[in-house]
Amino acid sequence: MSIRFNDRREAGELLARKLQAYADRRDVVVLGLPRGGVPVAYEVARSLHAPLDVFVVRKLGVPGHEEFAMGAIASGGARVLNQILVRQLGISNRDIEEVIATEQRELERREREYRGDVPFIDVRDRVVILVDDGLATGASMSVAVAALRRERPAKIVVASPVASTDAMEVLCRAADDCVFVVVPHDFRSVGVWYVNFAATTDDEVQDFLARSLTPMLDGAATLATM
């Protein structure tokens, strides 16, 4: 292995170093994909002095093999399906719709949990940095990019500490820019590249969002004196 991150915080710090071209800019917004992407995104937003929000995306797992993604859904009704995989595995439309219904309920629950009645941050004509803790297939990130295009941002930047070569190729075509710390040929799984890859909880996501207010205000004060 070329590199292993101690945890998501260190991964976020290293990723932020590669994103310094976007630091101290009024038009930059950082969005973390819950749950694991939020701790990484928090460090990125803190370093860049940018506002932080979450963009909820749910993986659509293959029935019986839920860890294997056949697509994903996101806020606003966007969905991405790997039609080739669906045909190869003979997955029925009924099975697909059942998986989507289940994940849609969880997506809506998380939105209520994380944001409550607070509206989604305005990204129109802004540079959006989409952050996750790792990209295996890139399905969740792909649907996030597709959904955000509807909001007419000026630019979408996909950023992650680690990505597979397949995910990199897919996402660098979908996004306007891609930034990774490492793209290993022997990817295997996201967790392999972390010493501590404990699951991020809903409470932790809420805590990161609350804590992000302080660096956002600090960044605004810094910009005001420039």
Give pLDDT, residue 59: 84
Give pLDDT, residue 73: 86
Question: How far, in Å, CA of 183 to CA of 178, rounded?
Answer: 11
Give pLDDT, residue 225: 37
Helix (H, G, I), strand (E, B) or coil at 68: strand
Mean pLDDT check: name the lowest of 1-5, 118-122, 219-223.
Answer: 219-223
**Position 10 pLDDT exceeds 90:** yes
Mean pLDDT of the chain: 89
> Do residues 36 and 171 touch, judged by C-beta distance below 8 A?
no
Helix (H, G, I), strand (E, B) or coil at 146: helix
Question: How far, in Å, CA of 150 to CA of 186, rounded?
Answer: 35
Percent of the chain residues topping a pLDDT of 90:
67
Mean pLDDT of 32-51: 96
91 confidence band (pLDDT: 50, 70, 90): very high
Give pLDDT, residue 2: 61
Percent of the chain residues topping a pLDDT of 70:
93
Q: Higher model confidence: residue 26 or residue 1?
A: 26
Question: How far, in Å, CA of 167 to CA of 68, rounded?
Answer: 14
pLDDT digits (tens, 9 = 90+) for 95-111: 999 999 999 999 988 88
Question: How far, in Å, CA of 147 to CA of 173, rounded?
Answer: 15
pLDDT digits (tens, 9 = 90+) for 139-170: 889 889 988 988 899 999 999 999 999 999 99
Give pLDDT, residue 119: 78
Question: How far, in Å, CA of 171 to CA of 175, rounded?
Answer: 6
Mean pLDDT check: name the lowest of 1-5, 9-13, 60-64, 159-163.
Answer: 1-5
> Do residues 125 and 27 touch, judged by C-beta distance below 8 A?
yes
